[in-house]
Amino acid sequence: MKRSVWILPAWLCLTVAVQAQGKINPTDPQPTCQMCPGTYIPVSELDAYTKKALDEKLLDQQVRDIDIGKANIGIGMVHRGKLDKPNPDSVAEHDQISEVYHVLSGAATLVLGPDIVNRQRRPATMRTVVEFNGPGNNGSEVRDGIAYEIKAGDVVVIPAGTGHWFTKIEDHIDYLMVRIDPDKVTPLKSEAQSKDYLSKPAKKGD
| pLDDT value for 13 | 54
Asked whether residue 18 is assigned to any structural domain, the reply reads: no
Check pLDDT > 90 for residue 201: yes
Check pLDDT > 80 for residue 150: yes
Q: Give residue-wise pLDDT tens across range 93-121.
A: 999 999 999 999 999 999 999 999 999 99
What is the average pLDDT score of the chain? 91
Q: Phi, psi at residue 81, to the nearest 5°?
A: -85, -175
Count of structural domains, the chain? 1
Percentage of residues in the chain having pLDDT higher than 70: 87
CA 34 → CA 31, 37, 67, 100, distances in Å? 6, 9, 11, 25
Asked whether residue 191 is assigned to any structural domain, the reply reads: yes
Burial of residue 198 (number of CB atoms within 10 Å: 0-12, 13-18, 19+)? middle
CA 110 → CA 76, 87, 127, 138, 141, distances in Å? 18, 13, 23, 15, 12
Check pLDDT > 80 for residue 23: no
Q: Phi, psi at residue 14, to the nearest 5°?
A: -65, -40
Rounded CA-CA distance 201/116 in Å is 35
Whose CA is closest to 91, among 51, 129, 62, 122? Answer: 122
Asked whether residue 23 is assigned to any structural domain, the reply reads: no
Q: Assign 170 to helix, strand or coil.
A: strand
Asked whether residue 34 is assigned to any structural domain, the reply reads: no
Asked whether residue 12 is assigned to any structural domain, the reply reads: no
| pLDDT value for 110 | 98
Check pLDDT > 90 for residue 85: yes
> Sign of the CA dihedral 190, 196, 199, 204?
negative
Mean pLDDT of 30-53: 95
CATH number, domain of 62, equals 2.60.120.10
Domain ranges, residue 51: 43-198
Asked whether residue 14 is assigned to any structural domain, the reply reads: no
Query: Helix 191-198 and helix 43-56: axis angle, to 10°?
Result: 40
